[in-house]
């Protein structure tokens, strides 16, 4: 249903380094590098970061994107990579039984306050 997603970032270079590390845990790599945007994916760019230098920074922008992981170990690696790259913990890896009993997820805040989740079932 969804072809791709774009996220605004205030510092493209710093956010590029962050997402290079974090999205690699999910098997994504940077496929496109342009002056004001980077595109990540496995076969084609599905996740974009776009330079928005005037965008106000916030601890929580209200944006929430969930990306699928193949295993709990990958969810754990995603969370660990995000924290190592300067992201915030907004939900440590674990089972979320209030969703369904096999919902294993981790939530991070990127450098601009966008909330990104990795989940496996």
Q: What is the pLDDT of residues 10-24, one digit of tens each?
A: 999 999 999 999 999
What are the beta bridge partners of residue 5?
47
Q: pTM score > 0.85 for this model?
A: yes
- Tell me the pLDDT band of 98, cut-offs 50, 70 and 90: confident
Q: What is the pLDDT of residues 11-69, one digit of tens each?
A: 999 999 999 999 999 999 999 999 999 999 999 999 999 999 988 878 778 889 999 99
Contact indicator for 45, 31 with CB cutoff of 8 Å: yes
CATH code of the domain occupying 5-120 = 3.10.180.10
Burial 71-108 (b: 16+ CB within 10 A, else e): ebebbbbbbbbbeebebeebeebeebeeeeeeebbbbb
């Amino acid at each position: 249903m969804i072809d791709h997603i774009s996220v605004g970032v205030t510092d493209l270079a710093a956010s590029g380094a962050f997402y290079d590390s974090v999205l690699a845990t999910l098997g994504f790599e940077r496929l496109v590098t342009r002056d004001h945007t980077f595109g990540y994916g496995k076969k084609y760019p599905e996740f974009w970061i776009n330079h928005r230098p005037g965008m106000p920074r916030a601890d929580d922008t209200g944006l929430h994107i969930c990306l699928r992981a193949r295993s709990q170990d990958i969810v754990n690696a995603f969370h660990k990579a995000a924290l190592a790259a300067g992201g915030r913990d907004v939900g440590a890896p674990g089972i979320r039984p209030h969703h369904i009993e096999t919902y294993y997820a981790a939530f991070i805040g990127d450098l601009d306050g966008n909330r990104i989740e990795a989940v496996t079932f």
